[in-house]
Amino acid sequence: MMTARLKDAHRADVRVVTSSMTLIEAYHDRIRLSAWNWAMSRIVVEPVTREVADAAVSLLADTGLHGHKYAIDAALAVIAERQPGNVVLYTSDEDDMGRLCGAGVRVIPL
């Protein structure tokens, strides 16, 4: 499913962005390394800097969520919010990401 979306985004010259922490969360031993590397070649990976971490901590405090469970989601929400233009976030955690993302990010379930 994501392979097709990445191909479509590439053809349409759409910038695809994720957080460095999301990569760690997403990787598992059933992914072929060649497929992983192909996908990574089409994705801009934003680092989770101190600035992003501080904003994620504030976001968690504002939403009443705990960092132990929502840290990666909060960092991704901060990074999504900082992207220019129309932003779409594909996720398997629609409810959580909907709580963390502002109105400027359209959350779409996978």
Whole-number pLDDT of residue 110: 86
4-25 per-residue burial string, b: 16 or more CB within 10 A, e: under 16: ebbeebeeeeeebbbbebbeee
Structural domain boundaries, residue 65: 2-109
CB atoms within 10 A of CB 30: 5
List, in order, residues 6 or more apart from 42 with CB less than 8 Å away.
6, 9, 10, 16
Q: Using the predicted structure, report yes or no on whether residue 2 has a pLDDT greater than 90.
A: no
Which helix (H) or strand (E) segment is 44 a member of? strand 44-46
Q: Please tell me which residue, 10 or 61, carries the higher pLDDT value.
A: 61
- Looking at the structure of the chain, the number of domains it has is 1
| Cα separation, 14 vs 77, whole angstroms | 19
pLDDT digits (tens, 9 = 90+) for 54-95: 999 999 999 999 989 999 999 999 999 999 998 999 999 999
3 confidence band (pLDDT: 50, 70, 90):
confident
Query: How many residues are there in the chain?
Result: 110
Give the contacts of 54 (CB within 8 A, at least 6 positions apart). none
pTM: 0.90
Q: Look up the CATH number of the domain holding residue 14.
A: 3.40.50.1010
pLDDT in tens, 28-60: 999 999 999 999 999 999 999 999 999 999 999
